[in-house]
Amino acid sequence: MAQLVATLASTHHPFYLKATTMPREQQMPQAPEWKRKIEAYRETLTRTKPDILVMIGSDHFHQIFLDNCPQFLIGKAPRYDATFYNEEREFGIPKYVLEGDEAMSGFMHQHLMDQDFDFAFSNELKIDHSIICPIITVRPDADLPVVPIYTNIFAPPLPSPRRFYNLGRAIRKAIDAYPSDKRIAAIGTGHLSLELGGPRQFMETGPDPEFDRQAIEWLRSGDIEAILANVDHESMAKSGNATHGFLNFILMLGVAGPEAADYVDNLDLFHTMEAYFTWYAKEDAA
């Protein structure tokens, strides 16, 4: 059976590449520290020598729109183009082509259906920065095949936090059951408190630093019960109108299992709290 070698959950800040590659004299003061933290985080993946990456993200109205809007979708294609024109324009993110793994995508899709997660699928999926940002940060050579999974964190009504956690558990079961000797890493991104297009955007901190501190502690200790007792759609909206990206962290904790993280780091940037978590698989976590 395949082996899950690492579960990574982080924020995805689309300006990382631009902020750390522009001429030094124009860089923000935190850029060197940010780069050091990202490189340390990258090492938590590199050392596990993965063969395939299961990538969890959320399309930001790039391929997916309100005319046809799935809650959960899996890519099943031989390869994936990435980065849309408006992401190049706004964030300076280059285009990529990622290899797919149709066999694993097909297996995951069926296994998730068998676990009562009725996934939508796409045979021609162009992926956006929610999946390319972590490629840039933790696998910048973009040299591994991916199985992309998209969740809806954007267009209400959204699935519940418990549903996201249970989906993470189901993804873990599907990875563990995959008949292959490959080493799998699961990499997901989302947000802590975040405001976009509202009165609390682009402040000195994220819109709810208290939530950010609490969320990091919950994830550090793997305390899913505390998360489910305290976080719902209304509470996330109070913490910032785009805070629902936290649902992907809940999903990733489901992949890891309710365990303390093996690696935790964070960085207070000018309008968000960035956070980076890695769990290494333990025998009894599945």
Which residues make up the interface to another protein (CB under 8 A)?
Answer: 60-62, 65-67, 84-86, 89-90, 154-157, 196-203, 237, 241-242, 270
Q: Nearer Cβ to another protein, position 142 or 203?
A: 203
Nearer to another protein, 210 or 270 (CB): 270
Which amino acid is residue 58, in one-letter code?
A: S
CB atoms within 10 A of CB 181: 9
Q: Of 25, 38, 86, nearest to 61 (Cα)?
A: 86
User: Residue 69 Cβ, how far from another protein at the closest point, in Å?
Assistant: 9
CB count within 10 Å of CB 233 equals 16
SS3 126: coil
> What's the first-to-final CA gap in the chain, in angstroms?
13
Q: How far is the CB of 215 from another protein (least distance, A)?
A: 21
Shortest gap between Cβ of 25 and another protein (angstroms)? 14
Whether residue 157 is preceded by a cis peptide bond, meaning omega within 30 degrees of 0, is: yes
SS3 content of the chain, % helix, strand, coil (to 5): 40, 20, 40
Nearest CA among 203, 204, 208 for reference residue 193: 208
Min. distance of Cβ 157 from another protein in angstroms?
A: 7
Question: What letter represents residue 48's amino acid?
Answer: T
| Closer residue to another protein in complex, CB, 85/283 | 85
Structure token digits, residue 279: 């769990």
Nearer to another protein (CB atom), residue 104 or residue 194: 194
Phi, psi of 183 (to 5 degrees): -100, 120
The number of helices, as runs of H, and strands, as runs of E, in the chain is 10, 10
Q: How far is the CB of 20 from another protein (least distance, A)?
A: 15
Our CB check for another protein shows the closer of 23 and 156 to be 156
- If the CB atoms of residues 195 and 265 are measured against another protein, the closer one turns out to be 195
The CB-of-214 to another protein minimum distance in angstroms stands at 20
